[in-house]
Amino acid sequence: MLDALFKKLDLRDRLQPDERAELIEAMSPPRRYGVGQEMVTQGSSPRESTLLLDGLTARANTLYDGGQQITALHIAGDFVDLHSFLLRTMDHSVVALTDCRVTTVPHERLRRLTERRPHLARLLWLSTLLDAAIHRQWIVGLGRRDAISHAAHLLCEMSLRLSVVGLSQDHTYELDLHQGELANVLGRSRATVNAALQAMRAKGIIAWQGSTVRILDWDALAKLAEFDPTYLQLHSMPV
């Protein structure tokens, strides 16, 4: 059940069989969350870290007035709160955007595992660094990209991230976000996001029907987004 995680880690540096076995042994039986359910609550202090097996989740910060900003999307193979192992108190929540299946590893067990397996510890550390790199690109999108290039950048990113875990083929993938959620991700109004998507459709760059995204012209989309995949580190990089 950890295939997506193993694909992510192996892309950067191959896990040894004993590391795989110990990770599998450390995980709890799968549990499920329905749409809108919180896996992690803002202000809580989790005693375990959650690995997403199937589905789509969002990290979100909620203000006192109820306003909310999505700050990350997580896909199968992502630890949605690995950093809670050391940060203790969560400054955001993690909510299921679709029906999700997860597994968890208790922090005490994670501590013993990382002490005993330093190579695995470095790979998990790398995962949190990749999360941070994605956050930086999202900040650039919010602050410097116009609506069309921002939306285009997100579609490029999701295609490559999903391809790593076998969920995007030929730049076609499922992204089950309704327009309000997409507007939240991009930090823009629904009308602005809708206009950006319509502009890309009109140019024959993308097609988005239901939850299925098809990138019809990758080069045009990447150019529109000024997309440089360096931050995703999609290559072998032994640690």
For the segment 143-166, what is each residue's pLDDT rounded down to a tens digit? 999 999 999 999 999 999 999 999
Q: Are residues 85 and 10 in the same domain?
A: yes
238 inside domain: no
Q: Are residues 16 and 54 in the same domain?
A: yes
Q: Are residues 95 and 30 in the same domain?
A: yes
CATH number assigned to the domain comprising residue 113:
2.60.120.10
87 inside domain: yes
For the segment 47-78, what is each residue's pLDDT rounded down to a tens digit? 999 999 999 999 999 999 988 999 999 999 99
State the Cα–Cα distance between residues 72 and 60, nearest whole angstrom.
7
State the Cα–Cα distance between residues 54 and 158, nearest whole angstrom.
15
For the segment 187-218, what is each residue's pLDDT rounded down to a tens digit? 999 999 999 999 999 999 999 999 999 999 99
137 and 229 Cβ atoms separated by less than 8 Å: no
Buried b (16+ CB within 10 A) or exposed e, 197-236: bebbeeeebbebeeeebebeebebbbebbebeeebbeeee
Percent of the chain with pLDDT over 70: 100
13 inside domain: yes
Closest C-alpha among 87, 27, 97, 85 to residue 58: 97
How high is the pLDDT of residue 31? Answer: 97
State the Cα–Cα distance between residues 7 and 10, nearest whole angstrom.
5
CATH number assigned to the domain comprising residue 197:
1.10.10.10
How high is the pLDDT of residue 230? Answer: 97
Q: Are residues 108 and 166 in the same domain?
A: no
114 inside domain: yes
Q: How many structural domains are present in the chain?
A: 2
Q: Are residues 46 and 110 in the same domain?
A: yes
Q: Are residues 155 and 213 in the same domain?
A: yes
How would residue 1 be classed by pLDDT, with cut points 50, 70 and 90? confident
Helix residue ranges, H only, 117-189: 118-144, 147-164, 179-186
Tell me how far apart the terminal alpha carbons of the chain are, to the nearest angstrom.
24
**What letter does residue 105 receive in the DSSP assignment?**
E
Q: Are residues 158 and 216 in the same domain?
A: yes
Q: What is the pTM of this model?
A: 0.96
Q: Are residues 111 and 203 in the same domain?
A: no
Q: Are residues 154 and 49 in the same domain?
A: no
For the segment 24-39, what is each residue's pLDDT rounded down to a tens digit? 999 999 999 999 999 9
Range of the domain at 214: 145-232
138 inside domain: no
214 inside domain: yes
Q: Are residues 88 and 12 in the same domain?
A: yes
How high is the pLDDT of residue 102? Answer: 98
Q: Are residues 79 and 175 in the same domain?
A: no
Task: Single out the residue in 100, 118, 136 at which a domain terminates.
Answer: 118
For the segment 100-143, what is each residue's pLDDT rounded down to a tens digit? 999 999 999 999 999 999 999 999 999 999 999 999 999 999 99
239 inside domain: no
How would residue 88 be classed by pLDDT, with cut points 50, 70 and 90? confident
39 inside domain: yes
Q: Are residues 101 and 162 in the same domain?
A: no
Mean pLDDT of 214-227: 98
